[in-house]
Amino acid sequence: MPSTLLNTDKQTNGTILNKAVDINATEVPVQLAVGESIERAVTPNHEPRVFFFDIDNCLYPKDSGIPDLMRAKIEQYFEDVGIKNGDVKSLSYRYYLDYGLAIRGLVIHHPDAKVDGALPLEDLLSENPPLREMIKSMNIEKKWLFTNAGKDHALRVIKILGLEGLFDGLTYCDYTEPNFICKPEAASFHRAMKDAGVVYPSNCFFVDDSAANVDKALDIGWTAVHVADDPVKSPFGHYQITNILELPTVLPEFWDEKSTAAALAGISSPN
């Protein structure tokens, strides 16, 4: 699960880590290889806090139409590689359950299939000034994108939403890598921590629309927020919201009152 830096002007001298955090030992730091050094004492109070943002169906609502188009595209891929029409939906769903990402099942078991991820995003999404202001006004050391999508798709969405320049980096899926990892696998969360230069899970904050991803983040020791269809019924994460702009209401330590009010006002205002 590779990563890329997005805002080098903001980037701090994060430590590059080379070993995953033990999910059964919440506050055990990542071990460094012999010869590696840390420029500062790495304790929970002496490393950057990182807020990890999912992208699809999280930074924009599920009713955008993108999930339905993506599902149809995946199903078309299965049909193109010769899978009978009656098996397409069940196979796609099984791959989703097994791997967390239907496309990975496609790539692993049907390597000749082409996955280009082309969607008419510009017709479905638009700039979201309230979201941009909410993220910009966050009082946290690092803001990091963490997605199961490919790099090109992720950056395309961020550009359309008008969120360029707000994030320090991106951890994404490279569909060309054999057996690539993705959420909700624990290894993908460990990789995101490594990419963002954070050692302690207690310094990791996360928002995602997937219950499975939120549940895994919780297991690892992150503070997790579930963007749920029905937050009253959702048992996942520390907090549940219906709209990304509600984040300041559940994690007020990262926003002042003015920024919180502006975010909430943005929920009912058209982009």
What pLDDT digit, counting tens, does each position of 10-57 carry? 433 222 222 233 323 344 444 434 443 333 334 677 789 999 999 999
Establish if 120 belongs to a structural domain.
no
DSSP state of 236: -
Establish if 103 belongs to a structural domain.
yes
- Residue 144 has a pLDDT of 98
- Residue 134 has a pLDDT of 98
Q: Same domain for 74 and 50?
A: no
Both tokens of residue 11?
A: 């980037």
Give the residue with greater pLDDT, 138 vs 176: 138
DSSP state of 83: -
139: exposed, middle or buried (C-beta count within 10 Å: 0-12, 13-18, 19+)?
exposed
- Residue 263 has a pLDDT of 97
Q: Same domain for 89 and 37?
A: no
Give the residue with greater pLDDT, 197 vs 93: 197
DSSP state of 23: T
- Residue 97 has a pLDDT of 54
Q: How many other β-carbons are positioned within 10 Å of the β-carbon of residue 138?
A: 18
Give the residue with greater pLDDT, 210 vs 28: 210
Domain CATH number, residue 256: 3.40.50.1000
Establish if 178 belongs to a structural domain.
yes
> Across the beta sheet with 169-171, what order do the strands follow?
3-5, 169-171, 142-146, 50-53, 204-208, 223-227, 239-241
Establish if 121 belongs to a structural domain.
no
Establish if 115 belongs to a structural domain.
no
67, pLDDT greater than 90: no
Q: What is the mean pLDDT of residues 211-229?
A: 96
Query: Is the sign of the CA dihedral 52, 53, 56, 61 positive or negative?
Result: positive
- CA-based nearest residue to 211, from 178, 184, 173: 184
Establish if 116 belongs to a structural domain.
no
Please give the share of the chain, as a percent, with pLDDT higher than 70: 72
Q: Same domain for 157 and 214?
A: yes
Q: Which range among 45-59, 87-101, 215-229 shows the weakest confidence by mean pLDDT?
A: 87-101
If DSSP states are collapsed to H, E and C, what string results for 141-182? CEEEEECCCCHHHHHHHHHHHCCCCCCCEEECCCCCCCCCCC
Q: Same domain for 24 and 158?
A: yes
Establish if 253 belongs to a structural domain.
yes
What pLDDT digit, counting tens, does each position of 113-169 carry? 444 356 788 999 999 999 999 999 999 999 999 998 888 889 999 999 999 999 999
Q: Same domain for 98 and 134?
A: no
Q: Same domain for 194 and 100?
A: no
**Model pTM?**
0.79
Give the residue with greater pLDDT, 176 vs 249: 249
User: Which domain range does residue 102 map to?
Assistant: 63-109
- Any idea how long the chain is? 271
Q: Same domain for 214 and 146?
A: yes
Q: Same domain for 228 and 131?
A: yes
Q: Same domain for 208 and 158?
A: yes
Query: Final residue of a domain: which of 83, 109, 135?
Result: 109
How many separate domains does the chain show? Answer: 2
Query: Final residue of a domain: which of 52, 81, 109?
Result: 109
Helix 211-220, helix 186-196: angle, nearest 10: 70
Beta-carbon contacts of 155 under 8 Å, excluding residues fewer than 6 positions away, are 170
Q: Same domain for 72 and 161?
A: no
Q: Same domain for 23 and 156?
A: yes
Establish if 236 belongs to a structural domain.
yes
Q: What is the mean pLDDT of residues 220-248?
A: 94
| CA-to-CA separations, 52 to 177, 207, 208, in angstroms, rounded | 23, 7, 9
Query: Final residue of a domain: which of 74, 109, 144?
Result: 109
Type of residue at 78: F
Helix 85-99, helix 66-80: angle, nearest 10: 120
pLDDT band (50, 70, 90) for residue 237: very high
Asked if 46 and 208 touch (Cβ cutoff 8 Å), the reply is no
Q: Same domain for 17 and 88?
A: no
pLDDT band (50, 70, 90) for residue 5: confident
